[in-house]
Amino acid sequence: MVRTKSVQMMADHLQRLTLEENSNPSAAVHFELLQTLDQLRLAVETPEETILRLIYQPPQNAALRTVMDLGIFQILTDKAHRMQGVSALQIAEYTAADEALIVRLMRLMASLGLCTTVAPGVFRANEKTAALTRSIAKDGIPCIYDLTIPTLSRLPEYLRSHLYRNPEDYAHSPMRWAVGQSQFEWLATHRDQQARFNSYMASRRQGRPMWFDTYPVSRLLNAKQPLDKSVLVVDIGGNQGHDLAQFRKAYPHLRGRLVLQDLPDVIKQTRCSESSIEVVSYSFLDKQPVRGARAYYFRAIFHDWPDHICQQILRNTMAAMIPGESRILIVDCVLPDIDTPLLQASLDIQMMSIGAGIERSEGQWRRLLQTVGLEITGIWNHSPGMESVIEAMHIGSQSG
């Protein structure tokens, strides 16, 4: 009876949020809607059902990875099949896979909501199928699966044999132990995967607010030095330069140079179409060569690394900054102390596995930055489900 009542209350709340999302959409309402849906599901499920749902997640990922290999979502969205759907027999003919195997894989895809079953053994594309043919899925699913699964499947063994010490040493990360390389070493020696990774990085945040939608860019414009010849933003570990290209598009008239930096192998593959962006090979484990920039921008960088490497990156950057004028901008998750969103808590375990990295809480960010002489001068966020923008400056240098 108590359970029924809480389910009803959540359903009512869900209805209110749905109306609000329709009339006044925002990232925060959307996030709350998803959180409430998850809670509602948990309230409806018996504990045993929850456990079974979790136990059988790995086959879902393996089947999805295989369907991506076979290019089946592409077939479903093809003009010839988009309306009527396509039979397992036809898919078998296109892919040279067994029809019986296709049926088994595709019924799971339909159960996951990634396509629709229109008749026994006949599958049709839906809204999710179309997204699965785009780079975020086409590159992201195989790359992240291949990069992480060999380590994640052995993570319990790693932690047991390391007496449950929190992985904090980059040289002895779980991935180094399981595979012999950490994530960026592995990517550098798997060129096709590096290309996929780059493409996934560029596509994964499409349609979501950018850092400059969240952060007041005017904070970068008040300084004694004129901007004409100086650098406005250096995007460090900026991969394809996608964030800088979007920034330039949003602020075409803003003076000041934009500089993209990443590892040589990544820079070689960069197809940065924006000619006004300077592209430079650089490792952030070395001294920062661009001096006095207004912003040293790091998106999804520090979560890859344990504190001792982050401190090295920060010190290399600080030596190039003008105290009081240069700012470090970090775009990463700031984990809440309670009710951590599932995606962020999952990313934390992934980062721990592939490089002894970590998703940090606000307290952990403050402590990390303070150890090198930086202080947080602001944190901006669109919704608790998204990355935040953290601004940091030399301690005591903020003019006001």
Which of 86, 106, 201, 232 is close enough to bind ligand SAM by CB under 6 A?
A: 201
285 belongs to the binding site for ligand SAM (CB under 6 A):
yes
Nearer to ligand SAM, 114 or 330 (CB): 330
User: Measured from the CB of residue 281, what is the shortest distance to ligand SAM in angstroms?
Assistant: 9
Which of 36, 158, 193, 262 is close enough to bind ligand SAM by CB under 6 A?
A: 262
Which of 121, 238, 241, 256 is close enough to bind ligand SAM by CB under 6 A?
A: 238
Which of 284, 296, 302, 365 is close enough to bind ligand SAM by CB under 6 A?
A: 284
258 belongs to the binding site for ligand SAM (CB under 6 A):
no
184 belongs to the binding site for ligand SAM (CB under 6 A):
yes
86 belongs to the binding site for ligand SAM (CB under 6 A):
no
For 252, residues 6+ apart whose C-beta sits below 8 A from its C-beta are none
Residues 125/76, Cβ–Cβ less than 8 Å: yes
- The catalytic position among 13, 162, 253, 303 is 303
162 catalytically annotated: no
Q: Among candidates 212, 216, 196, which has minimal Cα distance to 249? A: 212
81 belongs to the binding site for ligand SAM (CB under 6 A):
no
214 belongs to the binding site for ligand SAM (CB under 6 A):
no
Name the DSSP class of 285. Answer: T
144 belongs to the binding site for ligand SAM (CB under 6 A):
no
Residues 45/3, Cβ–Cβ less than 8 Å: no
Residues 394/324, Cβ–Cβ less than 8 Å: yes
At 198, is the secondary structure helix, strand, or coil? Answer: helix
272 belongs to the binding site for ligand SAM (CB under 6 A):
no
Which of 17, 263, 277, 352 is close enough to bind ligand SAM by CB under 6 A?
A: 263
DSSP letters along 294-340, please? SEEEEES-GGGS-HHHHHHHHHHHHTTS-TTT-EEEEEE-EE-SSS-
Which of 300, 314, 347, 390 is close enough to bind ligand SAM by CB under 6 A?
A: 300
Strand order in the sheet with 116-119: 86-87, 122-124, 116-119
283 belongs to the binding site for ligand SAM (CB under 6 A):
yes
Backbone angles phi, psi at 176, to 5 degrees: -60, -40
Residues 333/347, Cβ–Cβ less than 8 Å: yes
Residues 328/266, Cβ–Cβ less than 8 Å: no
353 belongs to the binding site for ligand SAM (CB under 6 A):
no
343 belongs to the binding site for ligand SAM (CB under 6 A):
no
Applying the rule CB under 6 A, the residues between 102 and 131 that interact with ligand SAM are: none
Give the span between the Cα atoms of 249 and 253, in whole angstroms: 9
**Alpha carbons within 13 A on the beta-carbon side of 372:** 22
Residues 219/244, Cβ–Cβ less than 8 Å: no
Residues with catalytic roles: 303
Which residues are near ligand SAM by CB under 6 A? 184, 201, 237-239, 262-263, 266, 283-285, 299-301, 304
